[in-house]
A and B are shown apart, each in its own frame.
Chain A
Amino acid sequence: MEFIKDIWQFLKERKKFWLIPMIIILLLVGILVIFGGSSSVAPFVYTLF
């Protein structure tokens, strides 16, 4: 939660809102890659890709 607050403040200060979609996609992919390693989430990853 603190991370989201920090990055929002950063983007607001730098006025770089156009980076938001890119960051969200990267984080989602990152989460999938990290959890994709564990067996319970792996089937969803395979379905998605």
Chain B
Amino acid sequence: MYILGISAYYHDSAACLIHNNEIIAAAHEERFTRVKQDENFPENAVKYCLKEAGLELSDIEAVVYYEKPFLKFERLLESYYHFAPRGLISFVKSIPVWVKEKLFIKDELYSQLKKLGKYDKKKLKLYFSEHHLSHAASAYYPSGFESAAILTLDGMGEWASASIATGTGNKIQIIKELHYPNSPGLLYSAFTYFLGFMVNSGEYKLMGLAPYGNHGSLQVENYKNLIRENLVDIRPDGSIKLHMKYFAFATGLKMIRTKKWESLFGIKKRNSSDPVLQCHSDLALAIQQITEEIVLNMTREAKRLTENKNLCLAGGVALNCVANSAILKENIFDRIFIQPAAGDAGGALGAALAFAHLHNNMPISECNTDKMKGAFLGPEFSDLDVLKTARKYGAEFEYIEDNNRLFEFTARQLTEGKVTGWFRGRMEFGPRALGNRSILADARNPEMQKKLNLKIKFREGFRPFAPSVLHEDTKKYFNIDVSSPYMLFTADVATGIRKNLPGDYENLDMMSKLYIQRSTVPAITHCDFSARLQTVHKETNPDYHALISKFKELTGTGLIVNTSFNVRGEPIVCTPDEAFRCFMRTGMDVLVMQNYVFIKEKQNINPELFKEKFKPD
């Protein structure tokens, strides 16, 4: 029984194909269209999923959309009615889109599917899951747990912005929901907007900025008090109430009432090109800590209601790895599984799984196995595909057939300070590159963070880089007891490898803090000694594990820098062609695609050919 899950028409559309309990394929549409967070029908992703399984559309039993449009429309109408006459402009702008398109998503989906191949409308059924049920299913069913508490948190679904559910066997039961307009995701996004980053994509930057705030300082405590007293009521049962006079998303076309925020915090709204000041970092730290408090309250409530020892997490807020680590430190659950594609793209997977288990009553398969296959669920390319790309551009390359030699060669390049593009196997599903579409570097190199940010990724200098560490070496470098295969937890760098800080460290400005060597692996040690780590397991990614092992043989360090294979504003590369173009237009030194090696110095191609502009995110 093949089931196709689809998420689309909001942001970050995706498709996923499952067969019984197995996830066959899953991919984001943005990777094919090269439009970041593409919201259109995931035509290419669906085509890929079908191709991966060797199927036609007529072989599919059901197509499941990740949310219920009518329920969302009901919420829109009721909230406009509730806030009327405020919100008239927003009403006039948004309702025509609904009346013209979004209310008729069923017809739209059928007509889009029709473009992809023939099918019998009577046989191919179209179903609609609920937004938070899709999130819950995307975390619970692949977790391999026989039962679990499930917590989902995001900006907004139909009515719910967060939910607590319990999973037992193949059943999921929603126990409690937090409803619109109260939303932890929208609260965080409001600060993302106020601090000059883009809503729905800049939340990572806010999280990366927070550690530059002065922990425990009067300023941060003052901001936290202002947030608690004016913006949000935080209740011990996990619920929150936003004070809507400060927010504009319910009635306007913006997130917040900017003037009110400026007078509340005493600072101007930051524009994206403005410099980042200490007050911005302090405010980022304040909202990060408030978010952690909210998430912890919800987690405790989930424990109280379910009394389960396992926890599954999904929804956009579950990508906040600092908050995830706060849950870990709380130590009230034995095991935690977080869906790597926790955002709306993962809803495609959840919708398909919810249909299979809840509608078709399919039992769950053997337990204790993570069914995400390391999140390597996307397209793979052959040596021949790479060769075609090399010939297309007249590139100089070397083919190293023996994997051992290839890994040794690459590891040696890394030790020499070379930044290396690493393209192998199936593309990752979810926002993180986990070693198949990655840019790699030596974390011991003190200049590496600056080089990567400014010459390779062309992004803000303050942003940290993540380490990929051999699973067996994790404790040598980090204070963490669990594995983190999907880069969804942060951990403190072990005291043994830390370096002493100057006495006036807390008083230094942000950029001065940035370039102080804080450990023996400075490129991945954030200013508060934390790192967003990925543990690399031999079972799920043997090649990547072998490469880091080789690096360890040469240097004694079982850890490297891993950042996604793209530049600012660009979706992660999917094909060899995109990887080669990205390699040529950045300061990357080496590119390894399958068993082909490209050295930048040896390329005699006009770099102007590869210039491409991406809208900064």
In the complex, chain B residues whose CB is within 8 Å of the CB of A30:
96, 99-100
In the complex, chain A residues whose CB is within 8 Å of the CB of B74:
10, 14, 16, 19
Contact status B70-A10, CB under 8 Å: yes
- Separation of A4 and B95 alpha carbons in the complex (Å): 18
Contact status B100-A34, CB under 8 Å: yes
- Separation of A36 and B183 alpha carbons in the complex (Å): 39
Interface residues in A1-20 (C-beta closer than 8 Å to B): 2-3, 6-7, 10, 14, 16, 19
- Separation of A38 and B49 alpha carbons in the complex (Å): 40
In the complex, chain B residues whose CB is within 8 Å of the CB of A29:
99
- Expressed in whole angstroms, the minimum distance between the Cβ of A32 and any Cβ of chain B is 10
Which residue from B70, B95, B98 sits with its C-beta under 8 Å from A6? Answer: B70
| A42 contacts B by Cβ under 8 Å | no
Give the segment of B102-110, B283-291, B473-481, B577-585 that binds chain A: B102-110
How does the 8 Å CB contact mask read for B348-368 relative to A, with 1 for contact and 0 for none? 000000000000000000000
- Separation of A13 and B377 alpha carbons in the complex (Å): 38
Per DSSP, are chain B's interface residues mostly helix, strand or loop, or mixed?
helix
In the complex, chain A residues whose CB is within 8 Å of the CB of B71:
10, 14
Which B residue's beta carbon lies closest to that of A16?
B74
Number of interface residues of A (CB under 8 A): 16
- Separation of A41 and B346 alpha carbons in the complex (Å): 44
In the complex, chain A residues whose CB is within 8 Å of the CB of B99:
26-27, 29-30, 33
In the complex, chain A residues whose CB is within 8 Å of the CB of B95:
26
Which B residue's beta carbon lies closest to that of A10?
B70
In the complex, chain B residues whose CB is within 8 Å of the CB of A26:
95, 98-99
| B77 contacts A by Cβ under 8 Å | yes
Which B residue's beta carbon lies closest to that of A9?
B70
- Separation of A29 and B100 alpha carbons in the complex (Å): 11
Contact status B96-A3, CB under 8 Å: no
Contact status B77-A3, CB under 8 Å: no
In the complex, chain A residues whose CB is within 8 Å of the CB of B70:
6-7, 10
In the complex, chain A residues whose CB is within 8 Å of the CB of B103:
3, 7
Contact status B107-A3, CB under 8 Å: yes
- Separation of A3 and B70 alpha carbons in the complex (Å): 11
How does the 8 Å CB contact mask read for B97-121 relative to A, with 1 for contact and 0 for none? 0111001101100000000000000
| A22 contacts B by Cβ under 8 Å | yes
Contact status A2-B106, CB under 8 Å: yes
- Expressed in whole angstroms, the minimum distance between the Cβ of A34 and any Cβ of chain B is 7
- Expressed in whole angstroms, the minimum distance between the Cβ of A33 and any Cβ of chain B is 7
- Separation of A3 and B69 alpha carbons in the complex (Å): 12
Contact status B77-A22, CB under 8 Å: yes
- Expressed in whole angstroms, the minimum distance between the Cβ of B83 and any Cβ of chain A is 15
- Expressed in whole angstroms, the minimum distance between the Cβ of B65 and any Cβ of chain A is 13
Interface residues in B98-148 (C-beta closer than 8 Å to A): 98-100, 103-104, 106-107
Most buried by A among B70, B71, B74, B106: B70
- Separation of A22 and B182 alpha carbons in the complex (Å): 25
- Expressed in whole angstroms, the minimum distance between the Cβ of B381 and any Cβ of chain A is 41
- Expressed in whole angstroms, the minimum distance between the Cβ of A6 and any Cβ of chain B is 7
Contact status B104-A3, CB under 8 Å: yes
- Expressed in whole angstroms, the minimum distance between the Cβ of B350 and any Cβ of chain A is 21
- Expressed in whole angstroms, the minimum distance between the Cβ of A43 and any Cβ of chain B is 21
In the complex, chain B residues whose CB is within 8 Å of the CB of A3:
103-104, 106-107
- Expressed in whole angstroms, the minimum distance between the Cβ of B131 and any Cβ of chain A is 16
Which B residue's beta carbon lies closest to that of A19?
B77
In the complex, chain B residues whose CB is within 8 Å of the CB of A16:
74
Contact status B106-A33, CB under 8 Å: no
- Expressed in whole angstroms, the minimum distance between the Cβ of B23 and any Cβ of chain A is 30
Contact status A6-B106, CB under 8 Å: yes
- Separation of A4 and B104 alpha carbons in the complex (Å): 10
In the complex, chain A residues whose CB is within 8 Å of the CB of B96:
30, 33
In the complex, chain A residues whose CB is within 8 Å of the CB of B77:
19, 22-23
- Separation of A7 and B103 alpha carbons in the complex (Å): 9
Which B residue's beta carbon lies closest to that of A33?
B96
How does the 8 Å CB contact mask read for B48-81 relative to A, with 1 for contact and 0 for none? 0000000000000000000000110010011001
Most buried by B among A19, A26, A33: A26
Which A residue's beta carbon lies closest to that of B95?
A26
In the complex, chain B residues whose CB is within 8 Å of the CB of A2:
106-107
- Separation of A23 and B161 alpha carbons in the complex (Å): 25
- Separation of A3 and B104 alpha carbons in the complex (Å): 7
Which A residue's beta carbon lies closest to that of B91?
A26
- Expressed in whole angstroms, the minimum distance between the Cβ of A21 and any Cβ of chain B is 11
- Expressed in whole angstroms, the minimum distance between the Cβ of B529 and any Cβ of chain A is 51
Which B residue's beta carbon lies closest to that of A30?
B99
- Separation of A34 and B106 alpha carbons in the complex (Å): 19
- Separation of A26 and B104 alpha carbons in the complex (Å): 14
Q: Tell me the A residues contacting B by CB distance below 8 Å.
A: 2-3, 6-7, 10, 14, 16, 19, 22-23, 26-27, 29-30, 33-34
14 contacts between A and B (CB under 8 A): A2-B106, A3-B103, A3-B104, A6-B70, A7-B70, A10-B70, A10-B71, A14-B71, A16-B74, A26-B95, A29-B99, A30-B96, A30-B99, A33-B99
Known: A27-B99, A33-B99, A34-B100. 10 other contacts (CB 8 A): A2-B107, A7-B70, A10-B70, A10-B74, A16-B74, A19-B78, A22-B81, A26-B95, A30-B96, A30-B100
Considering the complex of A and B, which 6 residue pairs feature the smallest CB-CB distances, nearest first? Answer: A30-B99, A10-B70, A26-B99, A22-B77, A19-B77, A26-B95
